[in-house]
Chains A and B, each alone.
Chain A
Amino acid sequence: MATFKFELVSPERLILSIDADQVDLPGSEGDFGVLAGHAPFLTTLKTGIVTVKAGGVSSRIYVRGGFADVNASGLSVLAEKAVPEAEFDPAVAASEVAAAEAVLAEAKSEEAKDRAIAALDQAKTAIAALA
């Protein structure tokens, strides 16, 4: 199976850089999968889980506030927060929920509130999926 270069970058460091067979991402307009030779594509991501399949092994990563850039050189995901499943513990989950709730508490306009509620739901769904 053809592979492509997958990179996951957070502001603090490069988290992952591997040759992947398939990566499934939670796009803001719907989940999508990337295989080798995907058309150039740029999208924002919602809070959720990125699934990476490489060499028959599949791993999951919690991602918040990111976007994905698919181009000829591969797929790069830039995320504000990215935690691999192995490092994801209740403390991280609690802080993520608290962060989303803080955003909601601060939201003033109706539009911002809707967005914050959606983000909180997404975070909760992702946490439930990982638990």
Chain B
Amino acid sequence: MASLKELKNRIASVKATQKITKAMQMVAAAKLRRAQEAAVAARPYAHRLGAVVANLASAMAGRDDAPLLLAGTGRDEVHLLVVCTAERGLCGGFNSSIVRLAREHAASLLAAGKTVKILTVGKKGADALKREHGNRMIDRVELRGVKTVGFDIAVDLGKRIVDLYEAGEFDVCTLFYSEFKSVIQQIPTAKQLLPVKVDAPAAALETDYEFEPDEAEILETMLPRYISVTLFSALLENAAGEMGAKMTAMDNATRNAGEMIDRLSITYNRTRQAKITTELVEIISGAEAL
């Protein structure tokens, strides 16, 4: 049985931990709101650009002069996995679920005899993949010190990926991130980034559309931007998801700490009472002996 002093120290330390987790939960809640707003504000652009690219791409489908980014290299040998995770931990299974998905994907590609290259965005993904796939990692991008994800980060990243693609470094690029469904639900997602795969256009393009310059040229300037925007929305979803996961994890931690304090307090009180009783019995039996 632990002594009273030990119990007291234990309770104090759990209380201190609870204070920290509570504070982290509140910080995450505030950041979550901001991240969610940013994700929502970015939606109109992504949505419109997606619609226009889908329209143009379906018009270009099968044509010989389709841009490289759309048509692909025609091979399926070298795969680049872009794994986007958070920069920090303490957010439940958020990072590990993204990494797990990427790892499974990499394993199945390797089993099929393909070459796998990995580019990580965010420190946690790099740390988790380092041991197993260290020699396959071509680069790691860290977002340390980035307060809010700006579009310029996505542009830089997109440019790097497109440059690698044009240099023939890989044939297929898949993006891994976490889709933000709700505060308590984030779904790790794999999305093909290159060659650009677009959904079928919602509505057929008006037939008398005029293009300036022609479709192919517009598409050529638009595709790199489309990739940047896709990356940007993935990063924003990740940011919101990370905060959501952190909030949930810290809420759980705070509650667990509360339960622990309750349990420890009961033990503490019982021990104290037992000690008092023993002391009384000692005094009484001492008095009787006189």
A interface residues with partner B (beta carbon < 8 Å): 7, 9-14, 27-29, 39-44, 65, 67, 69, 71-72, 76, 78, 80
Contacts and interface: CB of A to CB of B under 8 A. Distances in A.
B218 A67 contact: yes
A12 B213 contact: no
Q: Which of B44, B213, B217, B229 has the most CB of A within 10 A?
A: B44
Q: Which of under 10, 10 to 19, 20 to 34, or 35 or more describes the interface residues of B? A: 20 to 34
A18 B212 CA distance: 25
Contacts of B211: 41-43
Given A67-B222, A69-B48, A14 B208 contact: no
Contacts of B45: 9-12, 14, 78
A39 B44 contact: no
Interface of B: 38, 41-42, 44-46, 48-49, 52, 150-151, 154-155, 206, 208-213, 217-218, 221-222, 225, 228-229, 232
> Nearest 4 CB-CB pairs, A to B?
A43-B212, A13-B41, A11-B151, A40-B209
Given A28-B213, A65-B225, A80 B151 contact: yes
Contacts, number: 74
A13 B210 CA distance: 27
B206 A80 contact: no
Contact of B49 (A29, A39, A40, A78): A78
Nearest to B43: A14
A78 B212 contact: no
B38 A28 contact: no
A interface, over-half SS: strand
Contacts of B206: 40, 71-72
A80 B210 contact: no
Given A14-B45, A41-B211, A80-B155, 5 more contacts: A10-B151, A11-B45, A11-B46, A11-B151, A14-B41
Contacts of A9: 44-45, 48
A10 B155 CA distance: 13
